[in-house]
Chain A
Amino acid sequence: MARKRTKAGLTGAPVTTVVVMRLYIAGTAPNSVKAIANLQAICGRYLKDSYKLEIIDVCEHPRRALADGVLVTPSLAKVSPAPASNVIGNLSDTGSVLAALGLPAGAIE
């Protein structure tokens, strides 16, 4: 796996697989608002159109959040491709978000 990632990083080949993500937010809480903006910026820049993002408001769907094991907000879950990963916080640290999404670190300027 690590090898594959390294290869991709070296060649800088575009990601062709679609990344499926869920972002759990809590209404209009400041960090939730920030998280949406930060994630959209990252996706627009590094994933172009090859991603699917679902934004779930925990305040409206608490059962869903509970079932998904979400506690703090905002919380980003990468559902596919494997491996699944989670990021919490307002996603202000782009580097850690990219790493969690399995995107090549070299993609960052």
Chain B
Amino acid sequence: MTAKKSANPRPLSKVATGIHGFDEISRGGLPRNRTSLVVGAAGTGKTVFALQTLVNAARRGRQPGIFVAFEEGTRAIFANAATFGWNLPALAKSALFFLDARLSPTVVQSGEFELGGMLAILEAKKRELGAAWIVFDGIDVLLALLQNPSAEIRQIHGLRDWLAHTDLTAIITAKMEGDTATPANYGFMQFMADCVIRFDRRLEQGIALRRLEITKYRGSDFSPGEFPLSFGPQGIEVAAPGSAAALLGASSERVSSGFGGLDSMLGGGVFRGTTTLITGAPGTSKTTLAGKFAESACRRGERTLFVSFDEGGERIRRNLTSVGIHLDAYLKSGLLRMYSGRTDAINPEEHLIRIAALLLEHQPRCMVIDPLSALAKSGALGSARAVGNRLIYQVRDHHVTAFITSLVEGDDPQAETTEMQISTIADTWIHLSYLVRGGERNRALTIVKSRGTRHSNQVRELVLSAAGPALTEVYSSGGEVLMGTLRWEKEAEERARKLQRHAEFTQKRRELRFAEADITARIAALQVDLDRARGELARYSSEDDARQASSKERKNKVLRMRGSDGAAAAVPGKRRGARISAKSRKHNGDQEPRRGS
């Protein structure tokens, strides 16, 4: 059997461990039917890694496994694993076999021993279960009993031979403190293993950082370097870098920022899948804006994740309620998930991993991180920046529309560019500040940038009320931006002036109306006078005609009576016509004075 395996090597096949991140950096998991060695100091996560792999294999692959525990009893293992949702006791009844391989402290040792007996037991158990996996956890404890390096090497050889002729995929864990106390036999163990994973735990500015590194993988490519790991609800999670493929694709769908005022400033909202950064000093209501966004996402029925640092979800929920943002119902229905992390206890990378796990578990379409800058409080700023960047890329990889707040001391938004350096990768950047004037602080909102969209460059005043946040136009008067009471005063002043102007106008109109009526009346009176004058004029002129006519007739009569030559010369027709007109005027003159003239 042994000869067959070594003489006829099969192409390397891998089995996924089901551990997020690890399968990515190992390009598929652990080598199938071969031995992997997990080394590291106490408390670095070796046992959890091995156990988790076994649990995943049993659950997902329906592959039974055997767990040989040299260090901890079965009961202790079950208790430790209870924090993860594995349900070990149930698995132990069917797919997993736990062998408590601790030697009783009362056992007396006399001379060298061998592992043959245990391997015979395991062989029988393997056949009974049909096991595909085996874990030897804490083999160093057993080997230490041998008290003899050459005896240890003999036993490791025996173990290797046994593993080689079985078709089990094995994980052996061994304690290894630092690089200084590395015993020679572990070097030999590294040689017998096809894959070696080193676990490490160190303190960085008082925060424990756990890391994992694949130091060897026979016949396979893997991601070199150390990768942060943390313990999530399902066990170990490794922070593997995301794939570059996610950079592709951009949505033109607009997502509401939470309220109309901001949406219209942003040209209709933010683009789906983009990241919006809200910066501001403490108390500029960054959380309120983020909360409004979360609420509107929930109202649309979109799964939402609210990540808060250093403030409990319960408090945030209560505080938001006071400004008219109600999240309770969505929390209850499960549409909204809240994650609150403390930055003084957990390092940034661990938060990153937990958030990554939540992204996978909750599958949100929208999310809030409030405030991301809190990460910089714990651990080194450099690592916090790296985490911030990775977090944003991760959120983008999941096509999640995110609102991320960042605390900036002082009013200069440019301070952010030196602190967390998120602003360069954020798609939209909203800055909130205080304007102090006339003895008040008022909140001002500015859109510093918004990629791919037209946005207002005006400063608006952010007004909070029980009905939620609202944006109002600010007054700019004489080059100064007026807000709050000053704005109100200015508005009141303007209103008073308007009222006064209106009153003045009404008054003027009334006066003009009077003047108009007066003139019209006068025109009417004058018309009467005019008519009278005309009548008089007509009468006078007709009387004058009559008088002239009668004086001519009289003259003619006199001439005729005197028999003058002048009378003979007069034309008889003319004389006759004149007589007629004179006659008619005599009769009708008073009744129809105009007709005659």
Contact = CB atoms under 8 A, between A and B. Distances in A.
B22 to A, nearest CB: 30
A89 B116 contact: no
B113 A62 contact: no
Nearest to A56: B117
B114 to A, nearest CB: 5
B118 interface: yes
Interface of A: 24-27, 29-32, 34-35, 38, 58-59, 62-63, 65-66, 70-75, 85-94, 96-97, 99-100
Contacts of A71: 99, 101, 103, 117-118, 121
B110 A62 contact: no
Contacts of B112: 31, 89-90, 92
A58 B121 contact: yes
A87 B114 contact: no
Interface string B108-130: 11111111111011011100000
Given A70-B117, A72-B142, A92-B110, 6 more contacts: A34-B111, A59-B117, A72-B103, A90-B110, A90-B111, A91-B110
A74 B113 contact: yes
B110 A86 contact: no
B116 A29 contact: yes
Interface of B: 99, 101, 103-104, 106-118, 120-121, 123-125, 142
B116 A27 contact: yes
Contacts of A24: 117
B117 A31 contact: no
A32 B99 CA distance: 22
B116 A59 contact: yes
Nearest to A30: B114
B113 A31 contact: yes
Given A71-B101, A100-B108, A65 B117 contact: yes
B121 A88 contact: no
Contact of A65 (B108, B109, B121): B121
A92 B111 contact: yes
Contacts of B116: 26-27, 29, 32, 58-59, 73
Given A71-B103, A88-B103, A96 B109 contact: yes
22 contacts: A24-B117, A26-B114, A27-B116, A32-B114, A32-B116, A59-B116, A62-B124, A63-B124, A66-B99, A66-B125, A71-B121, A72-B117, A72-B118, A73-B114, A73-B116, A75-B117, A86-B106, A89-B113, A90-B111, A91-B111, A96-B108, A96-B109
Contacts of A59: 116-117, 120
A93 B114 contact: no
Nearest to A77: B107
A4 B23 CA distance: 63
A34 B99 CA distance: 27
A35 B109 CA distance: 12
B120 A88 contact: no
A103 B99 CA distance: 33
A65 B118 CA distance: 9
Nearest to B151: A31
A89 B121 contact: no
A88 B118 contact: no
Contact of B107 (A26, A30, A87): A87
A38 B112 CA distance: 12
Contacts of A74: 113-114, 117
A72 B114 contact: yes
Contacts of A90: 110-113
Nearest to A72: B113
Contacts of B110: 87-94, 96-97, 100
B522 to A, nearest CB: 131
A17 to B, nearest CB: 20
A13 B111 CA distance: 29
Contacts of B99: 66, 71
Nearest to A91: B110
Nearest to A27: B116
A59 B123 CA distance: 9
Given A26-B114, A72-B117, A72-B118, A88 B101 contact: no
Contacts of B106: 85-86
A25 B116 CA distance: 9
- Which of A66, A75, A96 has the most C-beta atoms of chain B within 10 angstroms of its own C-beta? A66
B582 to A, nearest CB: 168
A29 B106 CA distance: 25
A87 B115 CA distance: 15
A71 B120 CA distance: 9
B111 A31 contact: yes
Contacts of A25: 117
A62 B109 CA distance: 22
Nearest to B117: A73
A35 B114 CA distance: 11
B117 A26 contact: yes
A27 to B, nearest CB: 7
A74 B124 CA distance: 18
A88 B110 CA distance: 6
Contacts of A93: 110-111
Nearest to A87: B108
